[in-house]
Structure 1
């Protein structure tokens, strides 16, 4: 925990405390950075140009440099940059959108940095085509861009890269490129391995379909300086029309080892950060990974930190995809880059490696730090039991408790409902509760708080009348007023549920092999036991609330769902031999979960 002191940040009732101010009033805490890096300049200038890569492809580069009286200074400074999709564009109203201003990163020029944004090949105003998603050509480009930076008179030989989502993954790929000048990577909301992130549990949902843009959309990008008529921009945009259709590519790659002729490779492997773990470690670059409890990639950044030997810090807050509301992410980048690019002893690497928000179902939250993740080692098992059939019209009222089922034949069944809806668009976030569309299992009222920090898992035995079955599991908090909040979720394709030893550290969770040879169709009515990996969480179920598990055969976020006709009948087994149970990483003794009692 941070030392007691002045509250520096509040998020939904959470306080992040800073150490007592010292005489020089310097503060360096997560999201707070004052007094260590004085403002050297009060203005910046932006310049743009094309920079040729080793194969002659020209990339559009925006460079923000510190300035005095409107003139860029020649003093060498470290460069921090982002491998973008669109460094600058023009809106329908004629307003210019600049990535440096929009992100707030241009402000670092005042503290003695050069900040740059580079359109990836096949995107923005850059030439070339994008053959796949984070192909090796982009990593080679990253190397060439950093060599170009280092050659400029206004640059030192110490470079940092940052980004979030697709640019966060591009930042991680930059660390695979072998540049000796790259010293620090600040990457958010990225997948360590694309199959595990985009195809979680073997099921496509939410992620990775874009970017695919029309010619008209590409022409809204801002031309580089000197391309006044936009002729070069149009030429580049025309080349983009040969970009890979990512939707088609992923559709052609249902398995981890699928080869796609259109890109001439196994895309899940070639385009994944994890494939180049050795190269990242050889780079020696320090890594900072950031994510949110409402983001689908939060496990990926934790796996990345556990699997890479590089100096690593991790931040997880209460945010959605690339969110950081209430937390100054630019200040956090600033202090990280100050330490690694300027040698400022601001204490960031003396702090515990992991910083995360513990969310409370009563609205209160607290920040926590630890050198290890997960910080809780106890496990408690809650068994699914005593349910009845659920339909679209009636909510299943199964139980969730400490007692292992007795007897034979206990099972619950329902017909999979594909007609799922939410009151508002889900977008990249979590779905809304779907209790009426599946099977639910709920505990008794908790008589004390239950903290779940780590990776929940459902050991599930089911059968289906279909040869394959997508299975979705939601861990929910049921408040005294009956309102339901989804805390975390898991999904697995039953025919691809075989697990094995992972090539990297998956933190004790099941790793689905997902190869074509692993595909095993379900025999109608024959039970299959599988481990359903739920995304990590740090959440307190309050006294007076209940825990609930909901199981469905469909999700509103599925992007490539196969629907069977008639809709299959899904059966969850819960007897003495074919038991199904929820395994929770809990705080405290495993036999005492929120005061729940055994009936025996």
Structure 2
């Protein structure tokens, strides 16, 4: 599909909504104002209000709420502040949403930007509760019709979902995208491995922003540093005295990287806390309140945006709320394509204006449709086939698990090993890296790049199938089962699933990582999942006995791909990714023995969709 090709208005198009009601529209010219709101505990929060410039005295409009920790508005450097009112992305959003008859309230959450207060950790209960005070204020304004919706990506997506948990009577719909649902497993510790790259860089960015410094943009968003001097003070703070006082208060903030070395397990208290842990900041814990609200959801994420697709699937499987869930081949900001079958091709489909049309068609339907928004559908994009599909249940209908065994001569076979003895030894190489274009690095200015697998795989333990006799659609979570022994009590395994074509070109499909001490299979997960459940709690930790075989069973990250006839499936296995995850163990050089005998097998179960 070319960049300029429009999506047909068909059943499998996730961006199209039927029967969108007609409403009064405006010119797209807008006006802004800013001020402090005083919260219930006296903390002053900075807000920005964006309204249609041609809003009439009697016009009443709904409001979009966006609560951010990334500066609600920017103070531009000279000469840009003389030439521009807003950077292009904000101008496009403001113009579009006001043209559709919406107002916007953006907020510096407490402890950030121009707001006062402190933050002991992200999405603290005080920050969440501020949303209620802000909505109370919104509905009292002359321009408000009493309806509030929320939207945003990443951090702002989480704040929008938390807003749904408040059950405020004005809150009517929510659109979180590329956000975090279970912070421990999706962001901080995928498979129990500490994501030191992301946590360090994100925490340091936040610390810089909270001190009104744009220097961190130099390494993450260089163009932002070029344009932006700092956060925009509120209008009445002409001498920036209040901003200076707020920034001083921010020095008491605690940042996520300060948990490094202090927190390993899901139930360990965060730095400076007696009880609050990673689950405290996981919005999945608000499921009951969110279901009580019954607000409809539109929610998007990309297959290769870290583990963001996991929250789409988990939310879809668990919430009873009406929902259109979408998993596509886009990156964290939905600005670039992230599809391994189109390496180094980044033009996004659809373009931003068509994306925004979809967002506000959803809001219009949720607020003013003739019938209440009631669909519960997940749309997903199958990469390699380049086709949208939809399902009303997950896993999708027709999914069958096909088992492939690790076998001799680096093969991956449908039949069990037939030898009485069989193993492959692997000395963990802690210099292995998947590079700075992997799925865990593309949250910022980095572009996805998995084009170097041909250079990486020779240093890994690999197993290949024979060429496929027919096309194979893989949709869902592959499940890896390894029987292995190690020379050390702790360690990790990273498994890459790949597509190898007839010429030997390698296409990354998905991956799974797992820390060995979390291998205990536990009962009663906190929410419904379709992979083995590991609690990641301290009491369930099981160090390996060196030399003793242990079963390691875990799910890879979900995907949807079509592997073509004649291609091979490959498993590539290693024990480290130095530029992304902390090393396990912290010292020593483990040697892994992966068993593949008649009695002790290692295998992967691959979710295949039956094709008719």
TM-score, normalized by the shorter chain, greater than 0.5: yes
On the 8 A contact 1:132/1:267 being kept in 2, the answer is no
Residue number in structure 2 paired with 1:326: 349
Residue number in structure 1 paired with 2:490: 468
* Greater CA drift, 482-491 or 502-511: 502-511
Residue number in structure 2 paired with 1:40: 25
What is the CA–CA distance in structure 2 between the aligned matches of 1:503 and 1:412, rounded to whole Å? 33
The answer to whether residue 423 in structure 2 is matched with residue 411 in structure 1 is yes
Residue 131 of structure 2: which of 105, 124, 142 is its match? 142
How much does 1:253 deviate? Answer: 1.8
**Structure 2: gaps (5+ residues):** 215-228, 336-347, 443-447
Over the aligned positions, Cα root-mean-square deviation in angstroms equals: 2.7
On the 8 A contact 1:84/1:119 being kept in 2, the answer is yes
The answer to whether residue 274 in structure 2 is matched with residue 252 in structure 1 is no
CA deviation string 1:20-71 (max 9, x = no partner): 9xxxxxxx96157898545621121111111111111111111111122xx7
Q: Residue 560 and residue 99 in structure 1: after superposition, are their counterparts in 2 closer, same or farther (change >3 A)?
A: farther
Give the 3-state SS of the residue equivalent to 1:186 in structure 2: strand
Residue 244 of structure 2: which of 226, 234, 242 is its match? 234
What is the CA–CA distance in structure 2 between the aligned matches of 1:250 and 1:12, rounded to whole Å? 42
Residue number in structure 1 paired with 2:234: 224
On the 8 A contact 2:113/2:212 being kept in 1, the answer is no
On the 8 A contact 2:477/2:556 being kept in 1, the answer is yes
Residue number in structure 2 paired with 1:203: 193
The answer to whether residue 303 in structure 2 is matched with residue 309 in structure 1 is no
What is the CA–CA distance in structure 2 between the aligned matches of 1:29 and 1:525, rounded to whole Å? 51
Give the 3-state SS of the residue equivalent to 2:383 in structure 1: strand
Question: Superposition pairs for residues 564-575 of structure 1, below 5 Å?
Answer: 564-575=586-597
Residue 8 of structure 2: which of 17, 41, 53 is its match? 17
Residue 169 of structure 1: which of 150, 158, 167 is its match? 158
On the 8 A contact 2:21/2:365 being kept in 1, the answer is no
Give the 3-state SS of the residue equivalent to 2:257 in structure 1: helix
Residue 365 of structure 2: which of 332, 336, 339 is its match? 339
What is the CA–CA distance in structure 1 between the aligned matches of 2:24 and 2:107, rounded to whole Å? 25
Residue 299 of structure 1: which of 298, 305, 310 is its match? 310
How much does 1:262 deviate? Answer: 0.6
Residue number in structure 2 paired with 1:5: none
The answer to whether residue 610 in structure 2 is matched with residue 588 in structure 1 is yes
Residue number in structure 1 paired with 2:379: 355
What is the CA–CA distance in structure 2 between the aligned matches of 1:553 and 1:53, rounded to whole Å? 49
What is the CA–CA distance in structure 1 between the aligned matches of 2:408 and 2:595, rounded to whole Å? 11
Question: Superposition pairs for residues 243-282 of structure 1, below 5 Å?
Answer: 243-260=253-270, 262-282=272-292
On the 8 A contact 1:64/1:106 being kept in 2, the answer is no
On the 8 A contact 2:432/2:578 being kept in 1, the answer is yes
How much does 1:249 deviate? Answer: 2.4
Equivalent pairs, count:
558
Question: Superposition pairs for residues 85-124 of structure 1, below 5 Å?
Answer: 85=69, 86-95=71-80, 97=86, 101=90, 104-124=93-113
What is the CA–CA distance in structure 2 between the aligned matches of 1:319 and 1:188, rounded to whole Å? 11
Give the 3-state SS of the residue equivalent to 1:579 in structure 2: coil
How much does 1:127 deviate? Answer: 1.0
Residue number in structure 1 paired with 2:207: 213
Q: Residue 568 and residue 29 in structure 1: after superposition, are their counterparts in 2 closer, same or farther (change >3 A)?
A: closer
How much does 1:128 deviate? Answer: 0.9
On the 8 A contact 1:16/1:366 being kept in 2, the answer is no
Give the 3-state SS of the residue equivalent to 1:446 in structure 2: coil
How much does 1:443 deviate? Answer: 0.6
Q: Residue 150 and residue 181 in structure 1: after superposition, are their counterparts in 2 closer, same or farther (change >3 A)?
A: same
On the 8 A contact 1:12/1:365 being kept in 2, the answer is no
Q: Residue 509 and residue 99 in structure 1: after superposition, are their counterparts in 2 closer, same or farther (change >3 A)?
A: farther
What is the CA–CA distance in structure 2 between the aligned matches of 1:483 and 1:73, rounded to whole Å? 63
Compare the two structures and name the one with the higher helix fraction. 2
How much does 1:377 deviate? Answer: 2.4
On the 8 A contact 1:383/1:581 being kept in 2, the answer is yes
How much does 1:273 deviate? Answer: 0.7
On the 8 A contact 1:208/1:246 being kept in 2, the answer is yes
What is the CA–CA distance in structure 1 between the aligned matches of 2:575 and 2:20, rounded to whole Å? 54
Residue number in structure 1 paired with 2:299: 289
How much does 1:207 deviate? Answer: 3.9
Residue 30 of structure 1: which of 9, 12, 15 is its match? 15
Residue 192 of structure 1: which of 181, 185, 198 is its match? 181
Residue 372 of structure 1: which of 381, 390, 393 is its match? 393
Residue number in structure 2 paired with 1:595: none
**Structure 1: gaps (5+ residues):** 1-9, 21-27, 388-397, 593-600
Q: Residue 72 and residue 231 in structure 1: after superposition, are their counterparts in 2 closer, same or farther (change >3 A)?
A: farther
Give the 3-state SS of the residue equivalent to 1:485 in structure 2: strand
On the 8 A contact 1:31/1:329 being kept in 2, the answer is no
On the 8 A contact 1:84/1:167 being kept in 2, the answer is yes
Residue 59 of structure 2: which of 53, 66, 75 is its match? 75
Q: Residue 572 and residue 95 in structure 1: after superposition, are their counterparts in 2 closer, same or farther (change >3 A)?
A: farther
The answer to whether residue 500 in structure 2 is matched with residue 510 in structure 1 is no
Give the 3-state SS of the residue equivalent to 1:151 in structure 2: coil
On the 8 A contact 2:404/2:412 being kept in 1, the answer is yes
Q: Residue 37 and residue 140 in structure 1: after superposition, are their counterparts in 2 closer, same or farther (change >3 A)?
A: same
The answer to whether residue 38 in structure 2 is matched with residue 52 in structure 1 is yes
The answer to whether residue 478 in structure 2 is matched with residue 488 in structure 1 is no
TM-score (norm 2): 0.85
How much does 1:106 deviate? Answer: 4.1
How much does 1:244 deviate? Answer: 0.7
Q: Residue 447 and residue 29 in structure 1: after superposition, are their counterparts in 2 closer, same or farther (change >3 A)?
A: closer
Q: Residue 295 and residue 255 in structure 1: after superposition, are their counterparts in 2 closer, same or farther (change >3 A)?
A: same
What is the CA–CA distance in structure 2 between the aligned matches of 1:251 and 1:76, rounded to whole Å? 52
